[in-house]
Every structure is written in C-alpha cells, then in structure tokens.
C-alpha cells in the first residue's frame, strides 16, 4: 500500500489531497511509482 499527498504550488493548502493505492503484487518503490503513473495516464486519456 502507498499513500500519496498532493500539493500544487508552494503555498500550503487548506486541506490535503490524499490518494491511497493498494496492490496485491509485491513491487519496488520505483515499479509502484511507474504503475501509478500508468494508471493516471490511462485515466486522464479517457476524460
């Protein structure tokens, strides 16, 4: 499982944008990052 905190720009946001990712596969941090990027690439391509 991984947790992602997102912040746009340099100002501190009023609320945190938190994303949770879970996988049944054992992945390195680098491979997990690639999988997340691929997910969002596909997700954004569909909209």
Structural domain of 40: 23-47
Q: Is residue 18 part of a domain?
A: no
Residue 30 lies in a domain: yes
Flag whether 17 is in a domain. no
pTM value surpassing 0.85:
no
Tally of domains in the chain = 1
Q: How far apart are CA 28 and CA 9, in angstroms?
A: 28
pLDDT in tens, 18-44: 888 888 999 998 998 898 889 889 888
Q: For residues 15, 23, 37 and 5, what is the CA-based torsion angle, rounded to 10 degrees? A: 20
In this prediction, residue 7 has a pLDDT band, given cuts at 50, 70 and 90, of confident
């Amino acid at each position: 499982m991984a947790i992602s905190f997102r912040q746009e720009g340099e100002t501190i946001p009023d609320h945190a944008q938190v994303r949770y990712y879970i996988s049944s596969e054992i992945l390195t941090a680098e491979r997990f990052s690639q999988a997340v990027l691929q997910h969002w690439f596909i997700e954004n391509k569909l909209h």
